[in-house]
Amino acid sequence: MKLKNLLLLLICVCTYSAWAQTLATPDRIKTNKGDLVIQPVTHGTVVLQWDNKTIWVDPYGGEALFTGLAKPDLILITDIHGDHLDLKTLQALPTSGATIVAPQAVVDMLPASMKAKAIVLANGAKTKQMNMEIMAVPMYNLPETADSRHPKGRGNGYVLNIGNKNVYLSGDTEDIPEMRALKNVDVAFVCMNLPFTMDETQAASAVLDFKPRIVYPYHYRGQTGLTDVNAFKTKVEAEKNQIDVRLRNWYPVGN
């Protein structure tokens, strides 16, 4: 019996190790109140840890991807599409203790138990959670049309003030004027996937306008495969502007 239990334990350890290797190694960025830990998960999903709190952004892709990650204190959701609002994943994971911040269109789609813990933010609105200011910013497609995949006002990008750092999460957007006008961004997560958002050239042009200190290309799987994030990095770095472009693996095996 002891041998059987030992074998089962070894199998579990090996399974966990294989899973753990699929996620990118987390990054650490110093703030005036400890490190901000950045864990890429998949596509537009990122887990942030700071000041003993855990923030999940657009949790998506199935519960297995979150094995070993701390349960959330706060969940940010950007839009109604299934790669942002993934109810199956949300309901399979230990999210009952988390506050959800989301636009009205997302909150309208939440089950009653989650809706009761949700804070609605419209573009331009702010809330303070866990000693962190959260501002909702626009995310939308250009040109603005009646049949747009991402009409202005429905979804949110977010700017988080974490200690002395400002973190921008683009959500699904093109290189809109509101993005280009951002100031004092320390860390930016910028999407680039046609035909849903923008290509690497548009993304690089926008980044060169608002000049984040660090930028992570994320949400870069489109209809024809993965966007060329190396080309994005080359375009940004060609301007010799000291923007730190960080390429990470946002697409673990099977996702």
Please state whether the predicted TM-score (pTM) of the whole model is above 0.75.
Answer: yes
- pLDDT bucket at 21, cuts 50 / 70 / 90: very low
Number of domains in the chain: 1
Distance in Å from the first CA to the final CA of the chain = 37
- pLDDT tens-digit map of 149-205: 999 999 999 999 999 999 999 999 999 999 999 999 999 999 999 999 999 999 999
Q: In degrees to the nearest 10, what's the CA dihedral of 110, 111, 112, 117?
A: -50
User: Picking from 51-65, 87-101, 241-255, which range would have the lowest pLDDT averaged per residue?
Assistant: 241-255
- pLDDT bucket at 254, cuts 50 / 70 / 90: low
Q: Residue 252 domain-assigned?
A: no
Q: Residue 235 domain-assigned?
A: yes
Q: DSSP strand E in 138-186: where?
A: 157-162, 165-169
Q: Residue 123 domain-assigned?
A: yes
Q: Residue 138 domain-assigned?
A: yes
Q: Residue 81 domain-assigned?
A: yes
- Three-state DSSP state, 105: helix
The pLDDT of residue 13 is 38
Q: Residue 8 domain-assigned?
A: no
- Which CATH number does the domain housing residue 169 bear? 3.60.15.10
Separation of alpha carbons 194 and 129, rounded Å: 33
Separation of alpha carbons 30 and 53, rounded Å: 15
Question: What is the DSSP code (8-state) at residue 66?
Answer: G
Domain that holds residue 170: 26-245
Q: Residue 94 domain-assigned?
A: yes
Between these two residues, 234 and 240, which has the higher pLDDT value? 234
Separation of alpha carbons 125 and 102, rounded Å: 11
- pLDDT tens-digit map of 106-128: 999 999 999 999 999 999 999 99
Separation of alpha carbons 120 and 90, rounded Å: 18
CB 90 within 8 A of CB 121: no
Question: What is the DSSP code (8-state) at residue 65?
Answer: G
Q: Residue 2 domain-assigned?
A: no
The mean pLDDT of 81-103, rounded to a whole number, is: 96
